[in-house]
Structure 1
Amino acid sequence: MKELELKYGCNPNQKPARVFMEKGELPFTVLNGKPGYINLLDAMNSWQLVKELKKATGLPAAASFKHVSPAGAAVAAPLSEILQKVYFVEGIELSPIATAYIRARGADRMSSYGDFVALSDECDAQTASFLAREVSDGIIAPSYSDEALEILKTKRKGTYLVLQMDNDFQPAALEHKEVFGITFEQQRNDIEISEECLKDIPTDSKEFSAEARRDLLIALITLKYTQSNSVCYAKDGQAIGIGAGQQSRVHCTRLAGNKADVWHLRQHPKVLSLPFKDDVRRPDRDNAIDVYISEEWEDLLETDDWQRVFTEKPAPLSREEKKEYLKTITGVALGSDAFFPFGDNVERAHKSGVKYIAQSGGSIRDDNVIETANKYDITMAFTHIRLFHH
């Protein structure tokens, strides 16, 4: 198939809409549902991300996309008992690709609501079963087991979008984009991100653990497909905080850092022991946890709304308790899609337990950035690669 007609473009008034190939056939097959314009933008970007993650790490990879930026990305690293509880998979033996998906979805469950999923490997029945209970718009993968496909075809009353990607497809070297009647042309960003880009280390601390190198690669590859400016915090084989599309880099670092803090706070003993009612739906549980962690909790206690989800009034998680808990966090990796112009980004990163940084370097204030990293014994690499994505 060379062309696929779409219902409309980004918005209902944008008609007609289609995707097509100038040469050859479309590299994906629609196995179920009807794709939309934004669905396909998410699919093509997320597919590239997981394919590159798999190549860089050798591990099955997954991504959760919303509005052409990842909400989460991960590889198949084993889950601790605490993360199994946080991700609602306690005591379940997971396949590698299911593990990657559970991690990707768990990075920022609020943002992943209604996501588009990408898998680097075949979607098995277990992964499809987990997907079936989440609010999601579609999935792209290189293949599906027969049982997985049958499960996915029942989702959203049979309309769930399932795309199968040609794993061997290679796009043309030049890509084009039309804006306001003007055609833009550029070399496709096919730069390969590997451990080679972590060798220039200007800080006093020079050591990257194997886990840190893996997490920095995850962060950098995730940023390659995130709307700029972008910053990604990663730990334990997954993104834990992604900031996208901010005009100021330090605002991006703060936004992503706040998300990383929430990811860590979801593992706080008080959060893990929240007395939820048995019939509370997963999205409502996620919303309640987010409110419980936030400053809005005290306002909620003044109403009776908490009774909708909890069997009893939970003990509050004070600001001081959160600060003390976050002080214990360390070993977090951070990637930036371009250089840090000032040391304030490193100051903010340190507050979220960052120990390892990869950024392009090249600021006239590199000396200040290095000095700030040295102050906190942070190991920082200059990648000399800019990863702007628009």
Structure 2
Amino acid sequence: MAIRRALISVSDKTGIVEFSRELAAQGVQIISTGGTFSLLEKEGIPVIGISDVTGFPEILDGRVKTLHPAVHSGLLAIRDDEEHQKVMKELGLDYIDLVVVNLYPFKQTISNPNVEYADAIENIDIGGPTMLRSAAKNHAFVTVVVDASDYAGVIEEIKAGGDTTLETRKRLTAKVFRHTAAYDALIADYLTKQVGEELPESYTVTYEKVQDLRYGENPHQKAAFYSKPLAAVGNITTAEQLHGKELSYNNINDANAALAIVKEFDEPACVAVKHMNPCGVGIGADIHEAYQKAYAADPTSIFGGIVAANRTIGADTAELLSQIFLEIIIAPDFTPEALEVLTKKKNIRLLKLGELSVSAAERQSDWLSTTVDGGLLVQESDVRSLTEADLQFVTDRKPTEEELKQLLFGWKVVKHVKSNAILLAKNNMTIGVGAGQMNRVGSARIAIEQAGELAAGSVLASDAFFPMGDTVELAAKAGITAIIQTGGSIKDAESIEAANKHNIAMVMTGVRHFKH
């Protein structure tokens, strides 16, 4: 079989003139609609209007033009079926061998934060997806193209043999259904949000590939990186890489964890992350001071880690950063002088976020998903913030102003440590982090051991309640003076009694921050 007739109707006209000219040169008759018809005609390419095929005008502002039996019978007829051949001949219908369609720009329309609901609805394509699905279903005979990157390959095959191969048509068909599924998922998501539904009866999401990755968490695992179609700025998916090697799977996970922590702070903050856990966090009068504190928190673990800052990196901070091996540095921006320093290190990845425009308190929750065997877990992101007014002061001694400041600092960080999590803070920096242990006492021992002599006079933050008083006893031996924890255990009284015995100020939040 040979491709004789093509139907072309595209919103994105990239490359379509050149492609259509090549088709015409191969003797292919081109049918088109609306703006595509006008463009091809203007370019001197022989083209037939869709109304000449259907015998019916385009009506209702173009809403109805291709939804016609003359179009869909030409797409869906089985060419080697005698009954189909007979019907086509009796009704004077002709086959359509090639469909080139891309859809109304729904994504681009709703990306405007001020989009009107009516404009969004008007940009839901009906005829385009219908033609794509008809052609793709009948790919045994019909070639269907939805992506301009496939134009060249299709033309090559037509030139070589007059038609595309079945293998190519199968590949293009799979792409078509991915494309229409993604398109419909975006529409469904938009409309679901418009009516305020949060966890609907079916959960359909779509992502766009950013890049293939060399491998996944380990070298034997395949991996790729995908982004939400309308991802907000200030995230790893929208960051601009200014320098260094390609990001790996683990790099992206760690970078995302570092960003989540640094976004907790409005004041200048710097975060060092290793294996998705913070190994050092500091805040200061400027980002230079904040980095010095993050580094001092754990000079060992930061080696080979990832550093995120919520202010522009200047030359003085860059000089310090360049003195150790780091995988990634993430910041809203880098001064030219900082870039000059850091780009001397060949492999370090430098990621520019752009401005983090919302305060920590204004951050909106998103929906996070985690796969399990045979299913998917979906939950809100944990953006719950805490102020002094939210606290319950449960011990005889209330925290001092400085202790309270350090408790709130520690609480912002401990929520990002793998459970069970215990964190020690002092002087606006972390000094000990105990992560991921099977019991809270084990995590506390790790944090206290890491802090060493600095533990005396520090505060302790726990991501959940104390089921008994043993963690308080351990804290007292280390010289810890104040504790923040969720409360809610049936043994809260035991922990409070232990804190009172050792003159430790304890506050409860009523909020838990488990992170599995």
Give the TM-score normalised by the residue count of structure 1.
0.73
Partner Cα separation in structure 2 for residue 180 and residue 168 of structure 1? 38
Query: 2:468 touches 2:491 (CA, 8 Å); kept in 1?
Result: yes
Q: Secondary structure at the match of 2:263?
A: helix
1:49 alignment partner, one of 261, 266, 269: 261
Secondary structure at the residue paired with 1:150? helix
Question: Would you say the 8 A contact 2:424–2:447 is kept in 1?
Answer: yes
Aligned 1:101-112 pairs, distance under 5 A: 101-112=291-302
Question: Which whole-Å CA distance do the structure 2 matches of 1:168 and 1:37 have between them?
Answer: 27
Alpha-carbon distance in structure 2 between the residues aligned to 1:132 and 1:351: 38
Cα pair 2:268 2:284 within 8 Å, conserved: yes
Counterparts of 2:223 and 2:273, CA distance in 1: 25
1:116 Cα deviation from its structure 2 partner: 0.4
Preserved CA contact (<8 Å) 1:6 1:19? no
What is the DSSP-based 3-state SS (H/G/I as helix, E as strand, rest coil) of the residue aligned with 2:482?
A: strand
Matched AA of 2:290: A
- Larger-Rg structure: 2
Identity %: 36
Using the TM superposition, name which of 37-46 and 371-380 deviates more.
Answer: 37-46
In the TM superposition, residue 245 of structure 1 has moved relative to its aligned partner by 0.5
- Indicate yes or no: 2:487 matched with 1:366: no
The residue type equivalent to 2:225 in the other structure is R
Which residue is 2:240 aligned to?
29
CA RMSD across the alignment: 1.9
Please state if 1:333 is matched with 2:463.
Answer: no
Query: Do the aligned residues in 1 keep the contact of 2:484 with 2:507 (CA within 8 Å)?
Result: yes
- List alignment gaps of at least 5 residues for structure 1: 78-95, 265-325
User: Does the 8 Å CA contact 2:365/2:383 hold for their aligned counterparts?
Assistant: no
How far apart are residue 247 of structure 1 and its match?
A: 0.8
Query: SS at the partner of 1:135?
Result: coil
Deviations, residues 211-267 of structure 1 (Å, cap 9, x unaligned): 2122112211111111111010000110100000011001111111111116x3xxx
**Per-residue deviation at 1:172?**
6.2
1:203 aligns with 2:395: yes
Q: Aligned match of 1:177 in 362, 370, 373?
A: 370
Determine helix, strand or coil for the equivalent of 2:514.
Answer: coil
- Find the partner of 1:234 among 425, 431, 445: 425
- 2-side partners of 1:172 and 1:210: how far apart? 30
For 2:436, which of 245, 262, 278 is the aligned residue? 245
Q: Bigger shift: 173-182 or 133-142?
A: 173-182
Q: Does 1:194 align with 2:366?
A: no
- Please say which of residues 167-176 and 141-150 is displaced more in the overlay: 167-176
Task: Quote the Cα distance in structure 1 between the aligned partners of 2:365 and 2:262.
Answer: 19
Aligned with residue 353 of structure 2, among 151, 157, 165: 165
Cα distance, 1:37–1:196 mapped onto 2, change above 3 Å: farther
- Which position in structure 2 is the counterpart of 1:221? 412
Q: 1:221-370 alignment to 2 at 5 Å?
A: 221-261=412-452, 264=454, 329-330=456-457, 332-370=458-496
Match of 1:4 in 2: 211
Give me the whole-angstrom Cα distance separating, in 1, the residues matched to 2:223 and 2:209.
17
Instruction: Give, in whole Å, the separation in 2 of the partners of 1:101 and 1:111.
Output: 14
Whether 1:76 aligns to 2:268 is: no
TM-aligned CA deviation for residue 164 of structure 1? 1.4
Task: State the one-letter code of the partner of 1:61.
Answer: A
SS at match of 1:354: coil
What is the alpha-carbon distance in structure 1 between the residues aligned to residue 434 and residue 222 of structure 2? 32
| Alpha-carbon separation, structure 1, partners of 2:243 and 2:514 | 33
2:306 pairs with 1:116: yes
**Per-residue deviation at 1:141?**
0.9
Match of 1:60 among 255, 268, 278: 268
**Aligned counterpart, 2:336:** 146
- Measure the CA separation in 2 of the matches of 1:382 and 1:12: 44
Contact 1:50-1:120 within 8 A present in 2 as well: yes
**Residue pair 1:46, 1:225 contacting (<8 A) in 2 also:** no
The verdict on how the C-alpha distance between 1:219 and 1:24 changes in structure 2, with shifts beyond 3 A counting, is: closer
SS of the equivalent of 1:357 reads strand
* Match status 1:20 vs 2:227: yes
Query: C-alpha distance in 2, partners of 1:13/1:202?
Result: 52
Counterpart residue type for residue 342 of structure 1: M
Q: 2-side partners of 1:53 and 1:180: how far apart?
A: 36
